Amino acid sequence: MNIDSCIAFAQDLIRISSMSGKEKTIIERLIAEMRILGFDDIRVDENGSSIGTIRGKGKGSTLLLDGHCDTVEITNPSDWSFNPFGGEIHGENLYGRGAADMKCALAAMIYAAGSIDRSQLVGSVVISATVVEELMEGISFKTVVDSVKPDFVIIGEATDLNVNRAGRGRAEIKIVTTGKSAHSSSPHLGVNAVNMMAKIIQSIEKVELPMDEFLGKAQMVLTDIISEPYPGYSVIPNKCISTYDRRLLPGETNDSVINMILADPSKTNVPFSISIEQGEHQTYTGRILKGEKFFPAWSFPENHELVQNAIKGLIQTGLSPLVSGYQFCTNAAYCAGVAGIPTIGFGPGTEGSAHIVNEFIPVSDLRAAAFGYKGIIESILSTQ
């Protein structure tokens, strides 16, 4: 494997701005590199995600490695010490938006697959670069998974070079109270929807959230609250909407999450409605992706063959991975959480270095990830 070219490729990917919904240029760059590396089949699906395949010499499993190629925006450019689109290396680190989340992982996967000795492999390795993941996890990945039909999936989100066998999910919950408008000089003629919401919020604070031995406690965090009319000049608000970010544990469903809340705030005798928020986003190809913002958690046992084979492959490349889980939500919400396909996470960088000012990755992590992916591919698809 030409690791210097892999590092240069990762720098190039950082230099291409690819905010969610604007990934066309980076997809073209990814395709160009896969061509140079001799991928057998390269295509772009209807959402604009790229899918590159390398085939072994005989029939066998299909291993899909996924990385999303979109990034979050730069909210405060003046806080950055380096150009977020410079792909600059300073000291031991490579800096830029997407360095940790997750352009270096994509570069490493593509180089790992591209350097595989096909004569030693059965089955095929597929690398997907998915779009709009930062807006809705798993929504464009569903199209990839449903067409590739993998036997195993590796998600390349940051694991600090460990093997993640589980991940928390995420849901957006919308709560609405409806009151009655009145002039604020005569509040007794109205019903204040914000006061109603305040009671619901207090009640939700007391909801006992579930616990998972491996992933820890579920979370429910109030992220916004909006009243109508706004601004409410001398008007009693007739409507109030609050949004909660709920971090999910394995086994939690749409119904179980909602029922948990209904069981408690209803004691306050305040009427309210509750639902899972709907998401709708347009891809750069013009496709509208819609869905409920409920992305399930997932978990596989430590003795699962995928976990064990991945560890074996990584040890052969000189790594000593721990077994861990994702606290954030990833594309695995679909392949593992919905489709039930055996999935693990392995990637360079840490969860804490995603979405931050001066996002970076140690160059040594990028190098180790490239050889690590190669080790995992060989371990899972080896003919021996």
Residue placing its CB nearer to Zn ion in the complex, 45 or 101: 101
Which distant-in-sequence residues (6+ apart) come within 8 Å of 350 by Cβ? 100, 158, 160
State how far the Cα of 66 lies from the Cα of 129, in Å rounded to an integer: 6
State the minimum distance, in angstroms, from the CB of residue 105 to Zn ion: 9
With CA atoms as reference, report the closest residue to 30 among 59, 2, 67, 77. 67
Kindly identify the residues of this chain, within the stretch 140-159, that bind Zn ion according to CB under 5 A.
Answer: 157
State how far the Cα of 339 lies from the Cα of 325, in Å rounded to an integer: 19
State the minimum distance, in angstroms, from the CB of residue 68 to Zn ion: 6
State how far the Cα of 328 lies from the Cα of 169, in Å rounded to an integer: 7
The count of other CB atoms within 10 Å of the CB of residue 109 is 31
State the minimum distance, in angstroms, from the CB of residue 372 to Zn ion: 18
Residue placing its CB nearer to Zn ion in the complex, 23 or 157: 157
Q: Are 52 and 42 in contact (CB under 8 A)?
A: yes
State how far the Cα of 116 lies from the Cα of 119, in Å rounded to an integer: 9
Residue placing its CB nearer to Zn ion in the complex, 154 or 193: 154
Residue placing its CB nearer to Zn ion in the complex, 158 or 173: 158
Residue placing its CB nearer to Zn ion in the complex, 9 or 326: 326
Question: Which three-class secondary structure state does DSSP give residue 4?
Answer: helix
State how far the Cα of 41 lies from the Cα of 345, in Å rounded to an integer: 24
Q: What are phi and psi of 131, to 5 degrees?
A: -110, 165
**By CB under 5 A, how many residues form the interface with Zn ion?**
3
The β-bridge partners of 121 are: 382
Residue placing its CB nearer to Zn ion in the complex, 133 or 172: 133
State how far the Cα of 25 lies from the Cα of 27, in Å rounded to an integer: 5
Q: Could you please report the per-residue DSSP string of 190-255?
A: SB-HHHHHHHHHHHHHT----EETTTEE-EEEEEEEEEESSS-TTB--SEEEEEEEEEE-TT--HH
State the minimum distance, in angstroms, from the CB of residue 167 to Zn ion: 12
Q: Which residue is nearest to Zn ion (CB)?
A: 101
Name residue 355's amino acid: H
State the minimum distance, in angstroms, from the CB of residue 98 to Zn ion: 9
Given the structure tokens 């970010």, which residue do they identify? 245
Residue placing its CB nearer to Zn ion in the complex, 20 or 115: 20
Residue placing its CB nearer to Zn ion in the complex, 101 or 172: 101
State the minimum distance, in angstroms, from the CB of residue 338 to Zn ion: 18
State the minimum distance, in angstroms, from the CB of residue 349 to Zn ion: 10
Among 101, 137, 212, 378, binds Zn ion (CB under 5 A): 101
- Which window, 56-64, 93-101, 109-117, 159-167, contacts Zn ion (CB under 5 A)? 93-101
Q: What angle do the packed helices 363-381 and 305-316 form, to 10 degrees?
A: 120
How many residues are recorded in the chain?
A: 384
State the minimum distance, in angstroms, from the CB of residue 354 to Zn ion: 6
State the minimum distance, in angstroms, from the CB of residue 72 to Zn ion: 9
The β-bridge partners of 178 are: 239
Kindly identify the residues of this chain, within the stretch 30-89, that bind Zn ion according to CB under 5 A.
Answer: none
Question: Using the rule CB under 5 A, is 351 a contact of Zn ion?
Answer: no
Residue placing its CB nearer to Zn ion in the complex, 48 or 156: 156
Interface ranges with Zn ion (CB under 5 A):
101-102, 157
